[in-house]
Copies of this chain bind each other. A is one copy, B any other.
């Protein structure tokens, strides 16, 4: 394969109760990227649209991933790439993960599919490290594997894919305000009461059970985050109101996407998800804050090749 065009999905990490352990991919929101083999053994980023990101390969998440893979595989060729961001970085929707996972997937194709999914995850995590400072696996794993993922362990690295109920839809609002991942981490306590932790893993168990059994109501009831949300919701204007209108519109549950500021809601069926979007729209349209709204199924395919 000499060239490939891909879609790499936006991802929602944490999924409320699954703080730092779970994530899912969106079906229709994500970046487009284009990769081609070149005779020069270099990684060159030729075009970036939709965001202001470094063109220098070793400073760009996708570039870092490509460089690492070409070096590791002793490739006798180089790669040129285009990155077309379709949603804004800093959204809490795994923008750097989409770039990193997309590069891992595409470069592997150019190499002739030499790496396993887990190896691709390790490469993608290098991109996350370049962009965010640490090798977090949740967003990149969701982008690479698709659907819902659980990072069961970091050492050794292990990802468990969890099935997606067919009628599950996500509504996402991205208030265009800045919340740095670092700041969002700093506000969290280092310790939590054991009782709080028990409540949290009981909900993780409920969420995963609901995903396996298509029990939409159980999924909704399990979307409770006792650990991060109480501290992070203050960064998100009108968070509690968003939750309230989401529920009133029929959503199963609602939470912060990653470290925010985006907020996601789950609904059973696309119609209700659209009504939740309208409710978000109505609430936010009077706030004076810019925002983006998305309605999407769950992206079970993850990163995928698309037509040129």
| A residues with CB within 8 A of B | 17-22, 150-153, 158, 160, 162, 188-194, 197-206, 208-209, 212, 218, 221-222, 227
Known interface pairs A158-B221, A218-B160, A221-B153. Does A197 touch B206 (Cβ–Cβ under 8 Å)?
A: no
Known interface pairs A151-B202, A203-B152, A209-B162. Does A227 touch B194 (Cβ–Cβ under 8 Å)?
A: yes
Known interface pairs A191-B193, A192-B197. Does A205 touch B202 (Cβ–Cβ under 8 Å)?
A: no
Known interface pairs A18-B201, A198-B19. Does A152 touch B206 (Cβ–Cβ under 8 Å)?
A: yes
Contact B150 A205 (CB under 8 A): yes
Q: Which residues of B contact A200 (CB under 8 A)?
A: 197, 201
Q: Which of A20, A205, A208 has the most CB of B within 10 A?
A: A205
Q: Which residues of B contact A153 (CB under 8 A)?
A: 199, 202-203, 206, 221
Contact B152 A198 (CB under 8 A): no
Contact B190 A192 (CB under 8 A): no
CA distance A186 to B193 in the complex (A): 14
Contact of A21 among B150, B162, B198 (CB under 8 A): B198
Contact A209 B19 (CB under 8 A): no
The 3 A-B pairs with the shortest beta carbon distances in the complex, nearest first, are A201-B201, A197-B197, A152-B206
Q: Which residues of B contact A201 (CB under 8 A)?
A: 17-19, 21, 197, 200-201, 204
Q: Which residues of B contact A192 (CB under 8 A)?
A: 191-192, 194, 197
Contacts A158-B206, A160-B218, A204-B204 supplied; 10 other A-B pairs, CB < 8 Å: A17-B201, A19-B194, A150-B209, A152-B209, A152-B221, A153-B202, A188-B194, A191-B192, A208-B209, A209-B212
| Closest partner residue, chain B, to A204 (CB atom) | B201
CA distance A212 to B199 in the complex (A): 21
Q: Which residues of B contact A151 (CB under 8 A)?
A: 202
Contact of A206 among B19, B160, B191 (CB under 8 A): B160
CA distance A152 to B206 in the complex (A): 6
Q: Which residues of B contact A203 (CB under 8 A)?
A: 152-153
Q: Which residues of B contact A206 (CB under 8 A)?
A: 150, 152-153, 158, 160
Q: Which residues of B contact A20 (CB under 8 A)?
A: 194, 198
Contact of A197 among B152, B205, B227 (CB under 8 A): B227
Contact A193 B190 (CB under 8 A): yes
CA distance A110 to B153 in the complex (A): 49
